[in-house]
Amino acid sequence: MLLQALGKIAQTLVVLFFVSVASFGLLKLAPGDPIQIMLGSEYSQESYDSLKTELGLDQPFLVQYADWAGRFIQGDWGTSYVARAEIFTYAFKEALPVTLTLASFSLAFAILIGVPLGVLSAVKKDTIFDAGSAVLALTGTAFPSFLLGILLIWFFAVKLQLFPVMGYVSPWENFWLGIYHMILPGLTLSTYFIAMITRLTRATLIEVMEQPYITAARARGEPSWRVVWVHGVRNIAMPLVTILGLQLGVLLQGTVLTETVFNLPGIGQMLTSAVLGREYLVMQAGVMMTAALFIGVNLLVDLSYPFLDPRLRARK
């Protein structure tokens, strides 16, 4: 099992390498000249050339990549000319925690609301409750999150003044205030996931509830709540975790819009301003962090399978 895990980690590193090459290369191909932006509208050819040499942009692609990668691994991610800050500090220490907090909140909302709703829909299959939850779920998947965010701000923050309109407080510094600031953005980002998890939970649980071991559990007198929550839900963990891992990409995409609507200084906002400012290094840092997060989480999902399903554990 350890060997398997090591193999998967090695795979992950290879994938990460290709992602880094691709992100480096693709951004090189993108239109827009960073030197022009740095120099402003009036500059001489000499100052252009000297800056190009200084930044190493006249070197061949592979040299530029190796140079960038070597420094990247050491935590030297360069300087953002727009933010006037070390990118490692700006992106990794400041933006990443914001996005991680937002993503964790959304995931927590999605699981805490989606799973119980899905279980209830499955248990009350073909009732009005089930139909209602199906309509809600469809609405949740179809409703654009930025519009929902604006509506939530308008209703809960402006009209009722229950929640802050926008802004970020780190839950590490002030736990309750941090949570308070994360409720509306967390809900906005998680609507799609709540809906998706509700439907997924319902469908997989209905299938599980038809398994002979469910009938057998009933036959030995297990009360129905135990049959559902202990024998049923335990066996939908694996498909649920798999889909959550794969859908994390969608979640990370969603942070871009949500962070913009709620003015949260996370990776999404950082990427938006980096794209507008054509800051290659910031974009690369953003892409690398997002990719590493996605790949890392899916590695964890892979590694969790033996814990979720005993049949996948190596035989003694």
Partner 1 sequence: MTERMTDVALPPVLTLRDLTVHRGAAKILDRVNLSLGQGETLALVGESGAGKSTIAVAIMRLLGNAKIDGTIELAGEGDLLALTERQMVKLRGQRLSMIFQDAGAALNPSYTVGRQLSTTLRRIQGLSKDAARERAVELFTSVGINDPEGRMSAFPHQLSGGMQQRVMVAIALAGSPDLLLADEPTSALDVTIQAQIVRLILTLTRERGASCIFVLHDLALASQSCDRIAVLYAGQVVESGPAHDVLEHHRHPYTQQLKSCVLEIGTKTLTAPEGTVPSHAQMPPGCRFSTRCPRALPRCAGEAPPLVPVRSTAAGPLDHHIACWNPE
Query: In the complex, which residues of this chain contact partner 1 (CB under 8 A)?
Result: 211-213, 215-224, 231, 234-235, 309-311, 313, 315-316
Q: Are 106 and 193 in contact (CB under 8 A)?
A: yes
For partner 1, the closer of residues 93 and 313 by Cβ is: 313
- How far apart are CB 293 and partner 1 at their closest, in Å? 29
- How far apart are CB 105 and partner 1 at their closest, in Å? 29
For partner 1, the closer of residues 35 and 238 by Cβ is: 238
For partner 1, the closer of residues 60 and 212 by Cβ is: 212
- How far apart are CB 309 and partner 1 at their closest, in Å? 7
- How far apart are CB 155 and partner 1 at their closest, in Å? 42
For partner 1, the closer of residues 17 and 229 by Cβ is: 229
3-state secondary structure the chain: CHHHHHHHHHHHHHHHHHHHHHHHHHHHHCCCCHHHHHHCCCCCHHHHHHHHHHHCCCCCHHHHHHHHHHHHHCCCCCEECCCCEEHHHHHHHHHHHHHHHHHHHHHHHHHHHHHHHHHHHHHCCCCHHHHHHHHHHHHHHHCCHHHHHHHHHHHHHHHCCCCCCCCCCCCCCCHHHHHHHHHHHHHHHHHHHHHHHHHHHHHHHHHHCCCHHHHHHHHCCCCHHHHHHHHHHHHHHHHHHHHHHHHHHHHHHHHHHHHHHHCCCCHHHHHHHHHHCCCHHHHHHHHHHHHHHHHHHHHHHHHHHHHHCHHHCCCC
For partner 1, the closer of residues 54 and 309 by Cβ is: 309
CA distance 179 to 169: 8
For partner 1, the closer of residues 29 and 314 by Cβ is: 314
- How far apart are CB 20 and partner 1 at their closest, in Å? 39
For partner 1, the closer of residues 31 and 212 by Cβ is: 212
For partner 1, the closer of residues 108 and 312 by Cβ is: 312
- How far apart are CB 65 and partner 1 at their closest, in Å? 47
- How far apart are CB 33 and partner 1 at their closest, in Å? 58
- How far apart are CB 219 and partner 1 at their closest, in Å? 4
CA distance 111 to 6: 29
